[in-house]
C-alpha cells in the first residue's frame, strides 16, 4: 500500500509567462498585498485575479491550486529575513540578526504565523536561510544532529515568543485600553499573591511593545548563552 504522493510547487519547473506583463513574481506580490490587508481568509484565486485584472482560471497556469500559491508567498516571507554570512560576523551575531529579523517579518506579515509548520519550506529563500543556520551552528562548534537541534531550539524560541504576539495584536492590540484600568485589573487578579503583585511592572501597560521587545531580547540572549554553555561543557 503506497502513501499519498508528496507534491510541492518547488518540485516542478515553473511554467513560462502565458501573457505579456504577467509573471509568477507579479502574482506573488499581489497575493502578499491581499494577505497583508485581509489575512488568509481574505485570499482567493478569484479575488487575486480581479486585483490583477485577470480571470481566476488564468492564474492556474502558474499555480495548480491555492496551496501552491501559499507556498510561493511563504517563501517570499523567508526572503525578507536578514541573516549575514556567519563566517563574516560570528555565530552569535548571525543568530541575533536572524532572530530579530524573523520576529519583525512575522509581525509585518501576521498571516505567515498560520503557515509555519503547515507549508513546506522548500523555496530558495527558505533553503538559503536554513543553509546559513546550519553553517552558523557548525561554526559555533556543534556537530552531527546537534546542528539541527540547535537550529530548532532557536527557531522554536522565536516562534514561541512571536506567534502569541501576533494573536494578541489581531484580537486585543487594536483596541484602546486605559493603562490605569489595566493596572487595576491585574492588581485585583493577583491581590492574594503579594510576591506577584510586587514584581509586576505596571509601566508595561503604558508601552507594551517596548516590554515585549525587552522580553524577547532577554530570552534570546538566554537561549544563546545556553547553547554556548552547552558547547563549553
Residue by residue, DSSP assigns 80-127 as T-----HHHH-HHHHHHHHHHHHHHHHHHSGGGGGTTTTS---SHHHH
Q: What is the pLDDT of residues 11-53, one digit of tens each?
A: 877 766 655 556 888 999 999 999 999 999 999 999 999 998 8
Q: Which residue has the cell 546550519?
A: 134
Report which of 81, 78, 95, 89 is spatially closest to residue 142, judged by C-alpha positions.
95
* DSSP string for 136-148: HHHHHT--THHHH
Grid coordinates standing for 139?
561554526
Domains of the chain by range and CATH? 9-77 (1.10.10.60), 82-232 (1.10.357.10)
Q: What is the pLDDT of residues 136-167, one digit of tens each?
A: 999 999 999 999 999 999 999 999 999 999 99
Inform me whether the pLDDT recorded for 111 exceeds 90. yes
CA distances from 188 to 163, 177, 194, 203 (A): 28, 17, 11, 16
Contacts of 207 (CB under 8 A, 6+ apart): none
Contacts of 131 (CB under 8 A, 6+ apart): none
SS3 65: coil
Model confidence band, residue 10 (pLDDT cutoffs 50, 70, 90): confident
Inform me whether the pLDDT recorded for 217 exceeds 80. yes
Q: What is the mean pLDDT of the chain?
A: 88
Contact 169, 107 (CB under 8 A): yes
Grid coordinates standing for 160?
514561541
Model confidence band, residue 54 (pLDDT cutoffs 50, 70, 90): confident
Whole-angstrom distance between the N-terminal and C-terminal Cα of the chain?
47
Using a 10 angstrom Cβ sphere, with 0-12 exposed, 13-18 middle and 19 or more buried, the burial of residue 9 is buried
CA 220 to chain centre: 16
Grid coordinates standing for 144?
552531527
Q: What pTM, to 2 d.p., does this model score?
A: 0.86
- Mean pLDDT is lowest, of 33-37, 113-117, 134-138, 184-188, for 184-188
Amino acid at each position: 500500500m503506497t502513501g499519498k504522493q508528496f507534491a510541492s510547487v518547488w518540485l516542478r519547473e515553473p511554467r513560462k509567462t502565458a501573457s505579456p506583463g504577467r509573471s509568477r513574481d507579479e502574482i506573488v506580490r499581489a497575493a502578499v498585498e491581499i494577505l497583508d490587508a485581509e489575512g488568509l481568509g481574505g485570499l482567493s484565486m478569484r479575488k487575486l485575479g480581479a486585483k490583477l485584472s485577470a480571470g481566476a482560471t488564468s492564474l492556474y497556469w502558474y499555480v495548480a491550486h491555492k496551496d501552491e500559491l501559499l507556498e510561493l508567498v511563504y517563501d517570499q516571507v523567508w526572503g525578507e529575513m536578514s541573516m549575514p554570512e556567519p563566517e563574516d560576523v560570528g555565530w552569535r551575531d548571525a543568530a541575533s540578526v536572524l532572530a530579530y529579523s524573523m520576529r519583525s517579518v512575522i509581525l509585518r506579515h501576521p498571516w505567515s504565523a498560520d503557515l509555519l509548520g503547515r507549508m513546506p519550506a522548500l523555496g530558495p529563500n527558505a533553503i538559503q536561510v536554513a543553509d546559513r543556520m546550519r553553517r552558523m551552528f557548525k561554526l559555533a562548534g556543534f556537530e552531527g544532529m546537534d546542528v539541527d537541534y540547535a537550529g530548532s531550539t532557536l527557531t522554536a524560541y522565536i516562534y514561541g515568543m512571536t506567534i502569541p504576539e501576533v494573536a494578541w495584536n489581531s484580537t486585543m492590540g487594536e483596541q484602546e485600553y486605559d493603562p490605569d484600568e489595566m493596572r487595576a485589573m491585574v492588581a485585583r487578579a493577583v491581590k492574594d499573591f503579594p510576591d506577584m503583585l510586587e514584581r509586576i511592572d505596571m509601566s508595561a501597560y503604558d508601552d507594551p511593545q517596548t516590554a515585549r521587545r525587552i522580553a524577547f531580547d532577554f530570552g534570546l540572549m538566554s537561549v544563546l548563552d545556553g547553547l554556548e554553555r552547552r558547547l563549553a561543557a
